[in-house]
C-alpha cells in the first residue's frame, strides 16, 4: 500500500511537467525536444509498438527514433526521467 501514494505523486509530477514544458520562455533545441518526446511516449505507451515510418517521413522517423531510444525503461522510470529533464529545461529556459 505504501507504493500507491508514490506512484500517484509521480504521475501528478509527470502531468505537471507535461504542462510546464509547453510554456517555457524559449523552445528547447531539437535534441532536447527529441528527448522530451521519447520519454513522454515511453511513459505513456511503453516500448515502441509500431513499425518505423517510411524513408520520406522524416518527422515520423525522428519521433520513432526518439521513442525507440527509450526502449526498456519502465513507465515509472520514464516518468521520473521526464520530470527531471523538464526541471533542467525550466532552469535553462525559464517559464
CB 21 within 8 A of CB 36: yes
Q: Where are the domains of the chain?
A: 30-93
CA 64 to centroid of chain Cα atoms? 13
CATH of domain 30-93: 1.20.80.10
Q: What is the pLDDT of residue 1?
A: 47
pLDDT in tens, the chain (95 residues): 455 556 579 899 999 999 999 999 999 999 999 999 999 999 999 999 999 999 999 999 999 999 999 999 999 999 999 999 999 999 999 98
Sequence-separated (6 or more) residues with CB below 8 Å from residue 66:
34, 35, 37, 38, 41
Q: CB atoms < 10 A from the CB of 37, how many?
A: 17
Q: What is the pLDDT of residue 3?
A: 54
In the block, cell 526518439 appears at: 66
Amino acid at each position: 500500500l505504501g507504493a500507491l501514494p508514490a506512484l500517484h505523486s509521480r504521475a501528478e509530477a509527470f502531468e505537471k511537467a507535461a504542462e510546464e514544458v509547453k510554456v517555457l520562455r524559449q523552445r528547447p533545441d531539437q535534441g532536447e525536444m527529441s528527448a522530451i518526446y521519447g520519454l513522454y511516449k515511453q511513459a505513456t505507451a511503453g516500448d515502441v509498438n509500431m513499425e518505423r515510418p517510411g524513408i520520406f517521413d522524416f518527422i515520423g522517423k525522428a519521433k520513432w527514433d526518439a521513442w525507440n531510444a527509450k526502449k526498456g525503461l519502465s513507465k515509472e522510470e520514464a516518468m521520473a526521467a521526464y520530470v527531471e529533464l523538464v526541471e533542467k529545461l525550466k532552469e535553462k529556459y525559464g517559464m
